[in-house]
A and B are shown apart, each in its own frame.
Chain A
Amino acid sequence: MKFGVLRFPGSCDEVDALLACRRVADAEIIWHGDDDLGDVDAVVVPGGFSYGDYLRVGSIARFAPAMERVLEFAAAGGPVLGICNGFQVLCEAGLLPGALLPNEGLRFLCRQVGVEVVDAETAWSGASRTGDVLSIPVKHTTGRWFAPPDLLDEVESNGQVVFRYASGENPNGSLNDIAGVRNERGNVVGLMPHPEHAVDPLTGSTDGLRLFESAVRALAVT
């Protein structure tokens, strides 16, 4: 089983994501200009500042040639995970509902947060149980998940919330404490916290590994 981790100009977490993936399977970097995802079985869109985050976060990266292939891969049911800037890119690309706005407090945040698994049935959460609280860091300026009222109702009633900030730990003003959502099918998931930074006891938590283990498990079943 092999993960592909995208690299845009301005990505900065792709190496951590690559190393996290390699703890559980094979993994390789995919350059944003590549028109081919090769033989990867799952795709990670990593954090950073793709294309300088100019215009709006994630808005330009969605038009990268590799992203066109990711859209096809996702439509065919392939597992896709967007982390932080990768989450913003997947929202801009229309793969995930909602948008990310500047943090309520306008400040860059970097801290460990509790992230509750609300839905353990997706390709990226199956190694956890519903109700588990993972300790994972956030680090972002534009992480306030938002959807207009009708879309928010739809996301909640379809059960598309995968992760919520633990009670009292919402760092950025995200609606309904939403930290991560999925598409209707459950193969595409995005979240603001960084699971790839929580894979070694040296940095305080290995809870982030569960997301990568989930993909391995999901692919083993299919």
Chain B
Amino acid sequence: MIARVLIKPKDGILDPQGKAVERALPTLGVTSVSEVRVGRMVELHYEDRAELQSLCEKLLVNPLIEDYEIEDAGE
């Protein structure tokens, strides 16, 4: 199975990367986009869903500062 683990900074945590992207928007003439948050995406193949879950909590994500979700991405 293939999964995509989507990781982003927890709500309320200042995300300077997102702010930097936001600051570039006016120079592009973009006016309808706001509240940018920059995270990470980890794509991987797995067999055991429980093991994947535990990998997320042990290594891929720091639950103090990040939220994540696992998205199925095919067989």
Contact = CB atoms under 8 A, between A and B. Distances in A.
B17 A59 contact: no
B34 to A, nearest CB: 19
Interface residues of B, number: 12
Contact of B13 (A56, A101, A105, A106): A101
Interface of B: 9-10, 13-14, 16-17, 20, 59-60, 62, 64-65
A136 interface: no
A98 interface: yes
Main secondary structure of the interface of A (DSSP, over half): loop
Nearest to A101: B65
A75 interface: no
A84 to B, nearest CB: 18
Contacts of B14: 101, 104, 173
A210 B41 CA distance: 43
Given A55-B59, A59-B59, A103 B16 contact: yes
A184 to B, nearest CB: 17
Contacts of A151: 64
Interface of A: 55-56, 59-60, 63, 92, 98-99, 101-106, 146-148, 151, 173
Given A56-B62, A146-B64, 9 more contacts: A55-B60, A60-B59, A99-B65, A101-B13, A101-B14, A102-B17, A106-B16, A106-B20, A151-B64
Contact of A146 (B16, B20, B59, B65): B65
Contacts of A92: 62
Contact of A102 (B10, B16, B59, B62): B16
A164 B10 CA distance: 25
Nearest to A102: B16
Contacts of A105: 16
A88 B59 CA distance: 14
B62 A104 contact: no
A143 to B, nearest CB: 12
A98 B62 CA distance: 10
A104 B16 contact: yes
Contacts of B59: 55, 59-60, 63
Contacts of B65: 99, 101, 146
A151 B24 CA distance: 34
Nearest to B20: A106
A63 B62 CA distance: 14
